[in-house]
Amino acid sequence: MDKRILVTHSSMPTLDEYVEEIKEMWETHWLTNMGVKHMQLEKNLAEYLGISKDNIALFVNGHLALECIIEALGLGKEKNQRGEYKDEVITTPFTFASTTHAIVRKNLKPIFCDIRPDNFTIDPAKLEALITDKTCAIIPVHVYGNLCDTENIQKVADQYGLKVIYDAAHAFAVEKDGKSSAFFGDASMYSFHATKVFHTIEGGAVCFKDAALKPRLNEWKNFGITGPETTEFVGGNAKMNEFAAAMGICNLRHLDDEIEKRRKVDQKYRERLTEVSGIQLDMPQNGVKHNYAYFPIIVDETVTGCSRDDIFDALDESGVGARKYFYPLTSMYHCYEGMFDSSKTPIALTISKRVLTLPIYADLSLEDVDRICDVVLSCVRN
């Protein structure tokens, strides 16, 4: 192949469209602190998601949005009958660093639950066994844009009085039965990082059920400052700037077209890789409008005769950058050495050793998809 194909390729508006969007800033000189572009994007996103703008807050990135909502919902602040802080959060190790790090950085304890083998989201049937009198919340992840079993997760949460925060970093523009993923649980965090389907270069948002949280979230992202001479609590700094918001305004205009182009790439992959023994594809979910954010394949070496790593290497040699996403499990990171036992989440462990995400983005040509599939199939058949 001529030029290297990376696993993703950030979408961008034309230079003219972006320049048009930022032009007025040379008159206003208002560059951050919830300016015109920030407020416009917040409104546009609320409309896109079908929610009120009182139920969304924008952030400088998804990770700090997650840390902020963890704090705003008071996780770990309540005590149980024995007078101990309820600081345990049930979550998945099959995710990006951010999910687990946010929990740990807020002085909470991640309790890892195994995932479902079909769509890699947390297995609700395994939640109950992990609940103790110290559990305060569940933080599941809509992995690859696959929606979690939100109904059964909510049932468990309601039964035990737990909060639910979704890491929806992969699930922007995903809908179930015509409703956006913003409606599940107490809150959902979206990432608008450059590698995501919709992006603001760096950015993120949190959508939440209780509109009363909004002022607190806005103060949190601005040092806890509540008035010109009052700072009521120890907040952070996590504001989205105007250039990022302007990028978001432009990108949102083209999002549905981009997703449609991704759908065609996804379809091409499926044509070539369905029914290849030993290669498992992500199963489409009933009633779900997907965003085609990722294209994971699960390689069973005992059937294919080649490992995930063999395919990764072969692709690399042909100029294709696939990604072992997510590998390793977050519970196996160096920084958590000796703290967690990954054999307690055997399905997540197996999947993490077998998974490879193939390049997918709106402008990936179908010829390139063919060539990528040729490389994958040449490994399998040798």
Ligand X SMILES: *Cc1c(COP(=O)(O)O)cnc(C)c1O
Interactions with ligand X, residue window 176-195 (CB under 6 A) = 191, 193
Contact region for ligand X (CB under 6 A) — 15-23, 33-41, 60-68, 368-376? 60-68
At closest approach, how far in Å is the CB of 329 from ligand X? 13
**3-state secondary structure (DSSP) of residue 331:** helix
Comparing CB distances to ligand X, the nearer of 171 and 279 is 171
With tokens 């058949």, the residue in question is 381
Tokens at 281, concatenated: 């594809």
Comparing CB distances to ligand X, the nearer of 163 and 193 is 193
Phi, psi (rounded to 5 degrees) for 289: -90, 115
CA dist list (Å): 198 to 111, 169, 211, 250, 258 = 30, 10, 24, 10, 9
- For ligand X, how many residues bind (rule: CB under 6 A)? 14
CA dist list (Å): 275 to 74, 118, 137, 226 = 47, 15, 39, 58
Binding mask 260-299 for ligand X (x = CB under 6 A): ----------------------------------------
Comparing CB distances to ligand X, the nearer of 66 and 250 is 66
Q: Tell which one of 94, 96, 112, 361 touches ligand X (CB under 6 A).
A: 96
Contact region for ligand X (CB under 6 A) — 58-66, 80-88, 106-114, 366-374? 58-66
Contact region for ligand X (CB under 6 A) — 94-102, 155-163, 237-245, 297-305? 94-102
Binding mask 139-178 for ligand X (x = CB under 6 A): --x-------------------------x-xx--------
Residue with smallest beta-carbon separation from ligand X: 62
Q: Tell which one of 99, 100, 135, 357 touches ligand X (CB under 6 A).
A: 99
CB 301 within 8 A of CB 285: no
Tokens at 81, concatenated: 């009958």
Q: Is 98 in the site for ligand X (CB under 6 A)?
A: yes
Comparing CB distances to ligand X, the nearer of 110 and 379 is 110
Q: Is 331 in the site for ligand X (CB under 6 A)?
A: no
Q: Is 204 in the site for ligand X (CB under 6 A)?
A: yes
**3-state secondary structure (DSSP) of residue 217:** helix
Q: In what order do the strands lie in the sheet with 88-91?
A: 56-59, 204-208, 187-191, 163-167, 135-139, 88-91, 109-112
Give the Cα-Cα-Cα angle 184, 161, 93 (nearest 5 degrees). Answer: 60
- 317 half-sphere exposure, CB direction, 13 A CA radius: 10
Comparing CB distances to ligand X, the nearer of 113 and 380 is 113
Dist. CA 251–CA 15, nearest whole Å: 12
CB 311 within 8 A of CB 322: yes
Query: Where do contacts with ligand X occur on this chain (CB under 6 A)?
Result: 61-63, 95-96, 98-99, 141, 167, 169-170, 191, 193, 204
